[in-house]
């Protein structure tokens, strides 16, 4: 039985009154020495409390899609097949590029002249087995050719994609990064991104973006990879900025120009969105950060935050200051005071043209309810940066 969805939740709901009934039935029937009776009744109380806690956890998890499956919850998933050395790119092939994790090479548009992909990544797609995710969201299991990462990628196509009037058009793309822990379904199932944007795209208020949400929970034991290439551990940056984009280009009418790509995230995913867009301006034109942070160590389970050199190199302020030339990237950074707002101001204070930074102060908790309500306005802003063609 899958972790998310109604069936397992109903089981946990029924388990609560059953555990109480069992405890009441056996409470006066426990026999034996006094210590045995006390321990037995204590076990009954603990069991009742445990069933209630499990029910609440499942309810919260279903609402927010924090863990998408049992492997993610238990930390037993294996998504790093290998950690190959990623070949550096010819700087002249894709423009400015940097790799914050290792300081060597970088990420250029997928299929660049210096390092073309070995073979086209032709994928088969299916529906997402989650009642919270809309039926028009597609899912595929991708084996990253360069990164050595295996994981699911969810894709939503705008209403114009199948319109005969747009049959010769190529579409802009936004990669959607969840927080940590977070599921590739969260943007669709909890933030309702496709449901909110579909009517706005039909009305012409938002550009017809292809929305792509790759897996970012790659390491076992609930360790955050920080969207970074960490030698010997994981090539999370390469997975997100090269393998996933290449797959999208090979399977959909996606515009290959960096001027037509963006990356968005919330919480830990917001940190990723800011960092990846600044580090790879030859891959992304814009980055959207909802309640993010600059210092990777703000996430206690961050692998990057535990290494002093990686921690500093993957701070967006460091990336901006160390860039050979200011990246042509537009940033939208929102956050409450103490929850991302000051981090956005720090980036804005370090940025130089053509980098632009719009910092928006928000109110409310660090929660999906806040981010969900921001989706329409944020994508209208993005349409001003990457307009419909």
Averaged pLDDT in 10-residue chunks for the chain of 389 residues: 69 84 85 87 89 80 67 70 79 41 41 52 89 93 95 97 95 96 91 97 97 93 89 95 96 96 97 97 97 95 93 96 95 96 97 96 92 97 96
pLDDT of residue 49: 87
Cα–Cα distance measured from residue 316 to residue 227, given in angstroms and rounded to the nearest whole number: 13
Cα–Cα distance measured from residue 51 to residue 220, given in angstroms and rounded to the nearest whole number: 26
Cα–Cα distance measured from residue 316 to residue 295, given in angstroms and rounded to the nearest whole number: 8
pLDDT of residue 97: 43
Phi, psi dihedral angles at 215 (to 5 degrees): -65, 135
Give the alpha-carbon dihedral of 46, 49, 54, 57, to 10 degrees.
-130
The label of the residue with tokens 């977070």 reads 182
* 218-227 exposure pattern, b = at least 16 Cβ within 10 A, e = fewer: bbeeebbbbb
Tokens of 337: 């005071």
Cα–Cα distance measured from residue 89 to residue 81, given in angstroms and rounded to the nearest whole number: 23
Q: 249 near 122, Cβ under 8 Å?
A: no
pLDDT of residue 90: 44
pLDDT of residue 221: 65
pLDDT of residue 93: 35
Closest CA to 278 of 288, 266, 268, 292: 288
Q: Rg of the chain over CA atoms, in angstroms?
A: 23
Helix axes 368-385, 193-202, angle to 10 degrees: 30
Beta-carbon contacts of residue 103 (< 8 Å; ≥ 6 apart) = 313
């Amino acid at each position: 039985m899958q972790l998310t969805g109604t069936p397992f939740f109903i089981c946990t709901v029924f388990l609560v009154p059953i555990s109480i009934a069992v405890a009441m039935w056996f409470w006066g029937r426990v026999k034996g020495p006094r210590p045995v009776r006390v321990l037995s009744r204590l076990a009954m109380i603990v069991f009742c409390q445990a069933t209630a806690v499990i029910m609440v956890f499942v309810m919260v998890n279903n609402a927010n899609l924090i863990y998408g499956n049992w492997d993610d919850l238990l930390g037993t998933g294996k998504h790093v097949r290998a950690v190959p050395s990623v070949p550096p790119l010819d700087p002249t092939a894709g423009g400015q590029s940097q790799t914050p994790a290792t300081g060597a090479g970088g990420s250029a548009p997928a299929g660049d002249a210096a390092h073309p992909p070995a073979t086209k990544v032709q994928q088969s797609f299916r529906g997402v087995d989650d009642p919270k995710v809309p039926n028009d969201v597609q899912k595929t299991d991708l084996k990253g050719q360069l990164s050595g990462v295996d994981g699911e990628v969810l894709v939503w196509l705008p209403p114009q994609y199948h319109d005969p009037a747009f049959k010769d058009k190529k579409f802009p793309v936004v990669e959607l990064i969840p927080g940590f822990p977070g599921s590739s379904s969260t943007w669709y199932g909890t933030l309702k991104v496709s449901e909110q944007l579909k009517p706005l795209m039909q009305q012409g208020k938002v550009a017809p973006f292809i929305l792509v949400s790759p897996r970012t929970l790659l390491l076992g034991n609930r360790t955050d990879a920080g969207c970074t290439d960490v030698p010997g551990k994981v090539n999370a940056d390469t997975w997100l900025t090269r393998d996933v984009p290449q797959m999208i280009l090979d399977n959909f009418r996606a515009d290959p120009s960096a001027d037509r790509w963006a990356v968005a995230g919330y919480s830990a995913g917001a940190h990723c969105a800011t960092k990846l867009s600044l580090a790879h301006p030859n891959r992304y034109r814009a980055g959207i950060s909802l309640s993010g942070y600059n210092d990777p160590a703000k996430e206690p389970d961050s692998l990057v935050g535990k290494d002093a050199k990686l921690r500093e190199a993957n701070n967006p302020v460091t990336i901006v200051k160390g860039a050979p030339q200011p990246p042509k990237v537009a940033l939208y950074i929102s956050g409450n005071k103490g929850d991302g707002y000051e981090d956005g101001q720090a980036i804005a204070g370090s940025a130089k043209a053509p980098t632009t930074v719009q910092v928006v102060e928000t109110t409310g908790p660090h929660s999906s309810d806040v981010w969900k309500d921001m989706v329409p306005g944020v994508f209208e802003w993005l349409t001003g940066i990457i307009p419909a063609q």
